[in-house]
Amino acid sequence: MSALHAVFGQPISHSRSPAIHAAFGQAEGIALQYRTIETGVDSFPAALQAFFEEGGRGANVTLPLKEAAFALCGSHGTAARRAGAVNTLVWQQDHWHGENTDGSGLVRDLTSRHGLDLRGCRVLLLGAGGAARGVAPALLDAGITELVVANRTPARADTLVDALGEPGRAVSAYWEALNEQGDFEIIINATSAARSDTPPPKLSLGLVNSRTSAVDLNYGAAAVPFLSWARAAGCRKQIDGLGMLVEQAAAAFHLWHGRHPDTDPVYAQLRTQTG
């Protein structure tokens, strides 16, 4: 009997996760069912319980549910605990165990696929929600010198920085005063502004130097506005979140099935489809 898995989020119909995990399962000879389940924060606990009652024992979680998923877990992995956000659920005996594979997935994509050396880099992280929380600890672990977190609600940026526990290396900044922060080697967009009706404030060209790479954790149409700005600003590389999506999915697959699939064929196929 095939295993039952799902990805929860809102919106979720655009998700590539079912295709990714189907490809992983086929390559590894593992039969599985993987579906999308759309739910908001308020209805998420009931939706997760219904999924469990159907036989679900492993799931992914995306916007806007990563922090809510953290609260529903009876135990957490180190990455999830540091992030305060969960993107992968694993049933363990009598409770959901929460992991966060976003950060490791991003670092693996940036270093292995795109050839970036994160060591010594000054990084600007735009956003302080579940996506930003997921990647921030892994960026620090990868050896960056400084992480500046900016969010339209400054208190959320302050909360994330406090949770990271890296005074001096992780600091918050007002979005409106980013032009006072100097330039960065990496600028990461972890906001969901392109999926909403409210665009983020415009970014200064002074944030960019000759080595700057721009990374959007979104992919497809949602990544177009930020990466268009990055191209116009002269960023050396413009990278969307498709590779991170594949790498974090592979890490989740390993947690569920004990095997880490080859990600390159799946990434190549999705890149051909996405452009």
Of 186 and 193, more confident: 186
* Residue pair 247/275 in contact by the 8 Å Cβ criterion: no
What per-residue confidence (pLDDT) applies to 261? 97
What per-residue confidence (pLDDT) applies to 197? 46
Mean per-residue pLDDT for 246-262?
Answer: 97
Q: Using CB atoms within 10 A of its CB, is residue 268 exposed (0-12), middle (13-18) or buried (19+)?
A: exposed
- Tokens coding 6: 């799902």
How many other C-beta atoms lie within 10 A of the C-beta of residue 199?
A: 10
Rounded Cα–Cα distance for residues 267 and 65 (Å): 25
Catalytic annotation on 202? no
Domains annotated on the chain, with CATH: 3-100+243-274 (3.40.50.10860), 103-240 (3.40.50.720)
Residue 210 annotated as lining a ligand binding site = no
**Under 8 Å CB-to-CB from 112, ≥6 apart: which residues?**
none
Q: What is the DSSP code string of the chain?
A: --EEEEEEESS-TT--HHHHHHHHHHHHT--EEEEEEE--TTTHHHHHHHHHHTT--EEEE-TT-HHHHHHH-SEE-HHHHHHT--SEEEEETTEEEEE--HHHHHHHIIIIIS----TT-EEEEE--SHHHHHHHHHHHHTT-SEEEEEESSHHHHHHHHHHHT-TTTEEEEEGGGGGGS--EEEEEE---GGGSSSPPPPPPGGGEEEEEEEEES--GGGGHHHHHHHHHHT-SEEE-SHHHHHHHHHHHHHHHHS-----HHHHHHHHHHH-
- Tokens coding 194: 């392109």
Per annotation, catalytic residue among 20, 44, 56, 66 = 66
Rounded Cα–Cα distance for residues 271 and 275 (Å): 5
- To the nearest whole number, what is the mean pLDDT of the chain? 94
Residue 214 annotated as lining a ligand binding site = no
Rounded Cα–Cα distance for residues 121 and 124 (Å): 10
Query: Is pLDDT at 1 greater than 80 in this prediction?
Result: no
Q: How confident is the model over 122-162, as pLDDT tens digits? A: 999 999 999 999 999 999 999 999 999 999 999 999 999 99
What per-residue confidence (pLDDT) applies to 2? 76
User: Taken in order 33, 34, 36, 42, is the CA torsion positive or negative?
Assistant: positive
What per-residue confidence (pLDDT) applies to 20? 97
Rounded Cα–Cα distance for residues 14 and 62 (Å): 12
Residue 128 annotated as lining a ligand binding site = yes
Residue 63 annotated as lining a ligand binding site = no
% the chain with pLDDT above 90: 89
Residue 84 annotated as lining a ligand binding site = no
Is the full-model pTM beyond 0.85?
yes
Rounded Cα–Cα distance for residues 102 and 83 (Å): 10
Q: Using CB atoms within 10 A of its CB, is residue 249 exposed (0-12), middle (13-18) or buried (19+)?
A: buried
What per-residue confidence (pLDDT) applies to 212? 98
